[in-house]
């Protein structure tokens, strides 16, 4: 029996550790993190973007027009890649503020006080929607499939690109430039 006790204890620990199938049920750990892979859609193959309208974290209820290229970033304050890319997105939003590109966020699976602290910490000057129905409205085009996800909507209102995971300076610069050069949607 003395020899069997360590084996039973070890088995119990292993079975308990595997009881959830290795998936955490905490919102902060149960998310899909992308690897920065970009999908670019040719102009003729793009699907219409949804109307971006709803309650925001700071700016009240807004509706964004499709008159400019729109960079949409899906984020959460607890997401490490979101924290890593936030300074870049803040800088890009300031860089393009007087040009043909607008930025907007969609905060998801977060509490409002943490999200507000995130916005203040990273000096995000663009609005962030707080309603997950805005996120769900992309279901007929390129779906945000990770936290973070960055989508680019062309100036005609069609979803042109998606980055699943953290964006980089080079990748975001390239995608914005490419969308700018595209012919009008057919």
**Tens digit of pLDDT at every position of the chain (186 positions):** 555 443 333 333 333 333 222 222 223 333 345 677 899 999 999 999 999 999 999 989 999 988 899 999 999 999 999 999 999 999 999 999 989 999 999 999 999 999 999 999 999 999 999 999 999 999 999 999 999 999 999 999 999 999 999 999 999 999 999 999 987 665
In angstroms and rounded to an integer, the radius of gyration of the C-alpha atoms of the chain is: 20
13 belongs to a structural domain: no
12 belongs to a structural domain: no
> Shortest CA distance to 106 belongs to which of 79, 154, 73?
73
59 belongs to a structural domain: yes
9 belongs to a structural domain: no
128 belongs to a structural domain: yes
Cα distance between residue 88 and residue 55, in whole Å? 24
Residue 154, domain extent = 26-181
User: What pLDDT, on a 0 to 100 scale, did the predictor assign at position 98?
Assistant: 87
14 belongs to a structural domain: no
Helices (H), the chain: 4-17, 80-96, 112-121, 132-136, 169-181
17 belongs to a structural domain: no
74 belongs to a structural domain: yes
Which CATH number belongs to the domain containing residue 156 in this structure? 3.40.30.10
3-state secondary structure of 111: coil
Cα distance between residue 119 and residue 128, in whole Å? 9
To 5 degrees, how large is the angle CA 143–CA 64–CA 70? 55
Number of domains in the chain: 1
pTM of the model: 0.81
């Amino acid at each position: 029996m003395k020899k069997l006790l360590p084996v039973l204890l070890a088995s119990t620990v292993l079975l308990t550790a595997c009881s959830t199938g290795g998936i955490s049920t905490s919102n902060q750990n149960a998310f899909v993190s992308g690897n920065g892979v970009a999908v670019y859609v040719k102009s003729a193959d793009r699907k219409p973007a949804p109307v971006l309208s709803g309650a925001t974290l700071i700016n009240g209820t807004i509706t964004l027009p499709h008159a400019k290229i729109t960079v949409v970033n899906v984020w959460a304050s607890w997401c490490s890649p979101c924290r890593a890319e936030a300074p870049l997105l803040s800088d890009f939003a300031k860089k393009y503020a007087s040009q043909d590109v607008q930025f907007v966020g969609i905060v998801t699976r977060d509490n409002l006080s943490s999200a507000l602290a995130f916005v203040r910490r990273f000096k995000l000057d663009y609005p962030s929607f707080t309603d997950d129905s805005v996120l769900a409205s992309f279901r007929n085009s390129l779906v945000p499939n990770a936290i973070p996800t960055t989508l680019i909507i062309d100036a005609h209102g069609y979803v042109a690109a998606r980055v699943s995971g953290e964006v980089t300076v080079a990748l975001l610069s390239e995608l914005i430039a490419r969308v700018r050069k595209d012919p009008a949607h057919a």
